[in-house]
Amino acid sequence: MLRVGLTGGIGSGKSTVSGRLAEHGAVVIDADRIAREVVEPGTPGLAQLADAFGSGILDRSGSLDRAALATVVFADDAARQRLNGIVHPLIGERTAELMNAAPADAIVVHDVPLLVENGLAPAYHLVIVVDAPVDTRVERVTRDRGMSEADTRARIAAQATEQARRAVADVWLDNGGPVDQVLADVDALWADRLVRYEANIRLGQYNRSGGPRLVPPDPTWPTQADRLAARVRTAIGDLDARVDHIGSTAVPGLPAKDVVDLQLTVDSMDQADNLADALAQAGFPRHPRIDRDNPKPYAPDPAQWPKRLHLSADPGRLVNLHVRAEGSPGWRLALLIPAWLRADESARAEYRALKEHLADRFGADDDIDRYVEAKEPWFDQAATRAEDWAQRTGWTP
């Protein structure tokens, strides 16, 4: 099952996107609809609200008077917390029930207006954010919902900022233009990414990293790494786990293959193996053949360099997730090399020149294995130089 979070601010046209995904076969779970269902007349949820806030929150038919309830909780933090304490567990239970009822090969789209505000993004394999210019959103809401412009702009200002939404967005859909354009974007997203991603997770498959093709530095690489690291922590049930952004994409200004490298720190390889299934279900299946790093001259015993490698099942984002034990030579070196390159301009220029030379040399043949092998002699001597730098500067992991 592929879990997709869908969100967007008021007037962004999120319902257009969810509707198109449903047409393709997605199982859409609408958080707003569930929030209404759990407090319908005759439900335990409505009874609990009436007990907590009095019969004044009910209209003449016995239904919830949302305006009356809003008046009660609007300026009272304790009342609002009491309301959330009643409603949120009911919404959570119903959401889990619907997700569990979905087929094993389903693409489940969870439509959540407050996904960003409630910190829910790491729970999904993929997050889609629908956006449109503020003026376009205001025009839509005032036209379609009858709200005043002032109220609409106040609602927009109270919701998550564009910056906060971009930080969690794996996919950013611009819905400011003709509806046919966003529908075409959704169609392509479904065929090229979502369907393939679901199949990869179900079959335990990962994406190949391709050849040694370098791209210019992407200033969003660190944000992408943060997003992926949060997903890893959530998957293993340890929100305090150490997950570091390593590799070339962790060095600002350095061209690199468009592959985000992460390192998950564990206590032992036994713990790494115990986490393998959880990581695979989160979209990071394990590479079956790689179980160690290449030893370096200062620690030549291969037994000192164990690791596990997990790769991304997401066709739209290549990831290498290295799992190493804290304190091992490979763990330390993976943290040290990018720190040294960030600090040493000449070393960074040297490595850049090497990468570009080898990419030109092996890129035409799309030969990633020979590209990686040809870098090893440089890394053998760079490891010693980086350790010297660490001793001089007092760097530690």
Indicate the annotated binding residues for ATP: 11-16
What element of type H or E holds 318? strand 318-325
| C-alpha–C-alpha distance, residues 290 and 218, integer Å | 28
Residue 256's nearest CA partner among 212, 219, 300 is 212
- Give me the helices (H) in 102-192, please: 134-144, 149-158, 162-168, 179-189
Q: Which of 290, 267, 277 is nearest to 235 (CA)?
A: 277
In degrees, rounded to 5, the angle at the alpha carbon of residue 315 between the alpha carbons of residues 238 and 113 is 60
Measure the CA–CA gap between 50 and 276, rounded to whole angstroms.
Answer: 47
User: Whats the size of the chain, residue-wise?
Assistant: 397
CB 179 within 8 A of CB 166: no
Question: DSSP 3-state assignment of 395?
Answer: coil
Cα(289)–Cα(310) distance, rounded to whole angstroms?
Answer: 11
Residue with the two structure tokens 């997950």: 243
| CA atoms lying within 13 Å on the CB side of residue 237 | 6
Residues 6+ apart with CB under 8 A from 7: 14, 111, 112, 113, 114, 115, 116, 127, 128, 129, 130, 165
Residue whose pair of structure tokens reads 């943290």 in the numeric block: 335
By three-state DSSP, how is residue 125 classified?
A: coil
Residue 130 to residue 8: CA distance in whole angstroms: 5
Pick from 234, 240, 319: nearest CA to 284: 319
Binding residues: 11-16
Contact indicator for 126, 4 with CB cutoff of 8 Å: yes
Cα distance between residue 307 and residue 305, in whole Å: 7
Q: Which tokens belong to 34?
A: 């569930």
